[in-house]
Chain A
Amino acid sequence: MKKNLLRAVSFFSLLIAFTSCKDNCVETNTYRGYESVMISLNELRTSVKTLAPQDLVNPGKIYVKDNYLFINEVKKGFHIIDNSNPAAPKAIAFIQVLGNIDIAVQGNILYADSYTDFVAFDISNPTAIKEVSRVNEVFTYGTADGISWSYNATNQTIYDSKWKWYTTTQEVACDPKPYYYPVTYESWGLYSSFSAGSASKGTATNGAGVGGSTARFAIVNNHLYAVTNDEMKLFNLANPEKPVKDASIKLGFGIETIFPYKDKLFLGTTTGMQIWNNENPNNPTYLSRLDHVRACDPVVVEDDIAYVTLRSVNNFARCGPAIANQLDVIDVSNPATPVLKKSYEMESPYGLGIDNKKLFICEGKGGLKTFNATNPMDVKQIQHFKDMDTFDVIPLNGTLMLIGKDGLYQYDYRDANNLKLLSKILVKKEN
């Protein structure tokens, strides 16, 4: 009996040992790629709708007008928040505008881009917003959140993509070998810039709101300046409800942000800062530039000092191979010859904002840093708020509005040494 058992066990052991001695290795890749989306002009123009308040999902730029706060939902539309009490902001509505990235407000009219179109809304009653006019087919391409879209005029279709998570599972060799992920060739050719914002308290003119100077939109003297990657498009707002497309000015490539200051326009580009003379708002003229290594870089200006952050990005295509992460302080008292005064090292700076020598810098995943810039040659860090993913900030009348991947945070910064959190609206996490 025992012998039989032994034989059986031996037999089966040998069988297993010799027939199945093969290594099996399975690799599961999870990566973020794109899925293409096509939108017809008709679809685009009928998409505008006022919806009930929605959760923040993928917030973009922010814009402030009086007691209202507008938060862009990347390429989906914008949220309207009643912010008369920053400690208790109240969502009023969500306006669905496909392809919307930037917003600017003057008086009771809100201007928004919608892929290729430029749309004006009457917001005199924020609970019942109406489209009042539209300039058709102004923009031909753009980028937000790392994804570019383009407009094909011949078939009147917008070609866009959206992020998608892909999972692939396959059997692979068991010895690790260098592996090249599909996404590396999927991502070529992206000249993105969901660029960082900067508060443009600048010289917003009468009745205009305040945006992150990200704002590729800026309103000065009844003119709206919209910068695309390589152009500045002017809109005449003399009749606010019927904006008229004016000149387009070639700028070179890699334009990211526009910041109006006095009678100048400061452009943040991936290769440097440009200054344009805007004494004649119909026809801004090139004044000067200050080049630097390629990097993502918004700019803000206060008291003839420009603050520019440079951020290196791993992805070459995005903003360039810069290795620097820094804050540059530039003397622009003579706008024809800007002078770099000093650089400060940073972690990964996105947007920045300044109000009365109180400087706020978003550090992306590094959170928010506050600085005392009383002496631009000796900018001192005061506070550092971690555990936030931030990219845009607007300091205005004692309330700091901070937007990031996690949502909207508002701080009381009247005591610059001790910011107080007033409220937050968090992004609704999927799954």
Chain B
Amino acid sequence: MKNRLTILFCFLFSATFAQEKTSKIERFFQNKYVNYTEFGGLFGKSYQITQMSYATPVDGRTNFTIQSYNGYKIFDKLSAGVTVGVDWFNAMQIVPISVGIRNTYGKSNTKKVKPYIGVDAGYGFTWLNNDASDNQTATGGLAISPVLGLLIPTGGQANFVLSVGYKHNAFKTVTNSGTPEYPTSTTKEYELNRMAVRLGVNF
């Protein structure tokens, strides 16, 4: 568990550590490397369904999300890479690891605001849920996130990022409860569909 987290963070920050080593790597980062690091909220709604009936109120749901996209420029405007993040849902924290693309529009060196689109698709892992009880197992599932956003120049190499998108996360828990005489197994399949609004930086 700890190892996985360590690897995850090393991966996230490897860019920063590696930058000073050789000029070749430096050039790679200047010319080919693309990073979008964002945080924001996942907004959605959830019916308050009780065991007996559909209760009327629909609750709003807001959850925190962070993610970092590390990509390689295939063309001047199109890059492909890997996105790693954490989504804090009420039931569970999900670590989605996805492959994704980002495509910007407009001139590369412009000082104007540029639109971009992107999509990430991958698997949401449940590694961060140490507190799940002994008789519960959690498995992750599909994570998809298409976004469109704006790159707002800061004046330097970097841009501010403002994006709006859709986020789908699926995961599942299996809980074995009851006594040996009266065993009970509960499988709960979560399908969370949210609107994602994110702020961040791009370089």
Contact = CB atoms under 8 A, between A and B. Distances in A.
Interface string A18-30: 1011111111111
B193 A22 contact: yes
A315 B182 contact: yes
Given A146-B181, A175-B46, A183-B182, A27 B187 contact: yes
B188 A25 contact: yes
B166 A28 contact: no
Contacts of A174: 46, 61, 90-91, 190, 192
Interface stretch (B8-16, B26-34, B48-56): B48-56
Contacts of A16: 146, 166
Contacts of A10: 117, 148
From A16, A318, A365, name the one whose CB has the most chain B CB atoms within 10 angstroms. Answer: A16
A174 B177 CA distance: 19
A32 interface: yes
Contacts of A315: 179, 181-182
B50 A173 contact: yes
Contacts of A192: 181
A20 B47 CA distance: 13
B105 A183 contact: no
Contact of B184 (A14, A22, A29, A314): A29
Contacts of A28: 186-189
- Interface majority SS on A: helix, strand, loop or mixed? mixed
B185 A22 contact: no
Contacts of B50: 173
B182 A187 contact: yes
Contacts of A23: 44-47, 61, 190-194
A201 B123 CA distance: 62
B47 A22 contact: yes
Interface in A148-198: 170-176, 179-181, 183, 187, 192
A37 interface: no
Given A179-B186, A181-B184, A315-B182, A17 B164 contact: yes
18 contacts: A6-B117, A9-B117, A10-B117, A17-B164, A18-B195, A22-B46, A23-B45, A23-B61, A23-B192, A29-B186, A30-B184, A30-B186, A173-B47, A174-B91, A174-B192, A175-B46, A180-B51, A365-B180
Interface of B: 43-51, 61, 90-91, 105, 115, 117, 146-148, 164-166, 177-196
Interface of A: 2, 6, 9-10, 13-14, 16-18, 20-32, 146, 170-176, 179-181, 183, 187, 192, 313-315, 318, 364-365
